[in-house]
Amino acid sequence: EVELVESGGALVQPGESLRLSCAASGFTFGFTFSRFWMSWVRQTPGKGLEWVAKIKPDGNEKYYVDSVKGRFSISRDNAKKSVYLQMNSLRDEDSAVYYCATSSGWYFDDWGQGTQVTVSS
């Protein structure tokens, strides 16, 4: 069973930066981490779930929701079975629980337990 563990969430002030990490484990034979697209999805009580960013298995293609383009950067290390989200110039509206998730198609197969990011002065 795939397990995803996010870390790095914190309370930060507007304009500051934060780097989230997601460590994956439990992949069965033939379903390795390096075969999956990886995404970050965030959730707020008011706006619900929002897809934030995704990265191709080989790391060569990356996509972002418009509201984070130019501020957030997704990356991955297949050898470490990890995906990262570098968040710069954080805003109040970036406050959310951030989940990482695997994708084998146009859906999210497995999710982590989330990490809380709070942006407040």
Partner 1 sequence: QSALTQPASVSGSPGHSIAISCTGSSSDVGSYNLVSWYQQHPGRGPKLIIYNVSYRPSGISNRFSGSKSGDTATLTISGLQAEDEADYYCGSYTRSGSNWVFGTGTKVTVL
Q: Which residues bind partner 1 (CB under 8 A)?
A: 4, 48-51, 63-66, 99, 101, 105-114
Q: How far is CA 83 from CA 15, 22, 29, in A?
A: 23, 5, 20
In this complex, which beta carbon is closest to partner 1, that of residue 14 or of residue 47?
A: 47
Tokens 């033939």, residue located: 30
Q: How far is the CB of 81 from partner 1 (least distance, A)?
A: 18
In this complex, which beta carbon is closest to partner 1, that of residue 23 or of residue 65?
A: 65
Q: How far is the CB of 16 from partner 1 (least distance, A)?
A: 25
In this complex, which beta carbon is closest to partner 1, that of residue 14 or of residue 43?
A: 43
Dist CA 108 CA 104 (whole Å): 7
| DSSP output for 8-69 | ---EE-TT--EEEEEEEE-PPTT--GGGSEEEEEEEETTTEEEEEEEE-TTS--EEE-GGGT
Q: How far is the CB of 70 from partner 1 (least distance, A)?
A: 15
Dist CA 94 CA 16 (whole Å): 11
Q: How far is the CB of 92 from partner 1 (least distance, A)?
A: 20
In this complex, which beta carbon is closest to partner 1, that of residue 16 or of residue 93?
A: 93
